[in-house]
Amino acid sequence: MSHNSPVLGHQRVELRFTEALKQQRMHHAWLLYGMKGIGKRMLAERLTGLLMCDSHNDCGECHGCRMLAAGSHPDVYRVGLAEGKRDVNIEQVRQMLGFLSLSGSEGERRVVILDDAERLNHQAANALLKGLEEPSAGSVLLMVCADLERLPATIRSRCMLQQCMPLAEHDVRRILDASLMEGDNKPDVATLELAVELAEGCPGMVASLQDKKIADALLAWQALIAQLDHADIGRVDEWIRQHVGIVPHALIVRTLLAPVYPLLQQQFDAASFTAAELLRSAAHDCARWPADVVRSSLRAAPTLLAYVLALRSAIKAMPVDRTT
């Protein structure tokens, strides 16, 4: 999708931004926040296009739009988490603020897209706060954030807060239908349906399914654990050992828990309460498995197998009419 294309699911945000631009009430710092994978960074690029377009409609044809499309606009700067780094550091913020303090080369505005804003370390956040307190004339900062609570309240209070919501299913389907068709491997209906289900309104979360090996592996996993209480544990163990190193852990867990959620949403009587609590606990352990592997340096495959076995036992302990 080009920078001058509307971003599906975020038309209301774009309308609010456009109205502020038309009425010359452009705030110097916009904070676009919401779940990962919903297109916030793409939206920031779209809003940058509106600012830099000669007619402010992101026409794609004027000098400003052509420079943006070529990635060479001198008044646009992008910063975010560098590869292999754990946070956005103070030097990155200083360079960004230095850029914003300059006079525009092509117009009155300079724009910075700050991605991964929640990853600012303490020093970087303090430096950014000073820049927000004394904004340079003509500067616009578009911050992209996946975890609003990780940003200091002092920074949040100085920004125009704009929540970005997960996408509706029809928008997710349109995006995935287009993105999964890229390359030589054309997805089948089953792959597209699995992607839509796992995306949960966040199409960016299933981008890895463009890799046919990953898509085929997840389809096989889905078939294996569709009825976990009757699953062949030997085959489950084999799948885990073969694929846990290549398939994103979050997608493994989402596929595993999808059949469990309907059970958790049932109404339980007093006699079933203990079994229901056991199932909730087992599902919670599975859900936190990706983080546990990273945080506690656990061996991914045997830990997942142990959680799957516990979940299987919990499902078996549920009332016999659980599938009705």
Give CA–CA dist 71/220, Å, rounded: 41
Does residue 277 share a domain with residue 224?
A: yes
Give CA–CA dist 45/109, Å, rounded: 15
How many angstroms from the chain centroid is the CA of residue 136?
31
Instruction: Read off the CATH number of the domain in which 42 is found.
Output: 3.40.50.300
Give CA–CA dist 49/278, Å, rounded: 51
pTM: 0.85
Q: What is the DSSP string of 87-139?
A: SB-HHHHHHHHHHHTSPPSSSS-EEEEE-SGGGB-HHHHHHHHHHHHSPPTTE
The full length of the chain comes to: 324
In a domain, 79, yes or no: yes
Does residue 241 share a domain with residue 102?
A: no
Residue 161 clears pLDDT 90, i.e. is over it:
yes
Structural domain boundaries, residue 201: 167-208
Does residue 313 share a domain with residue 199?
A: no
In a domain, 72, yes or no: yes
Does residue 313 share a domain with residue 259?
A: yes
Residue at token pair 């979050």: 250
Does residue 119 share a domain with residue 25?
A: yes
In a domain, 2, yes or no: no
Token pair, residue 14, equals 């774009």
Q: What is the DSSP string of 273-284?
A: HHHHHHHHHHHH
Give CA–CA dist 71/42, Å, rounded: 14
Quick: pLDDT tens for 247-274: 999 999 999 999 998 888 877 676 678 8
At 47 the pLDDT is: 96
Q: How many structural domains comprise the chain?
A: 3
* pLDDT-derived band at 298, boundaries 50, 70, 90: very high
In a domain, 5, yes or no: no
Instruction: Provide the pairing of β-strand 139-145 with 160-163.
Output: unpaired
Percent of the chain exceeding pLDDT 70 equals 93
Does residue 139 share a domain with residue 45?
A: yes
Quick: pLDDT tens for 269-295: 766 788 889 999 999 999 999 999 999
At 185 the pLDDT is: 57
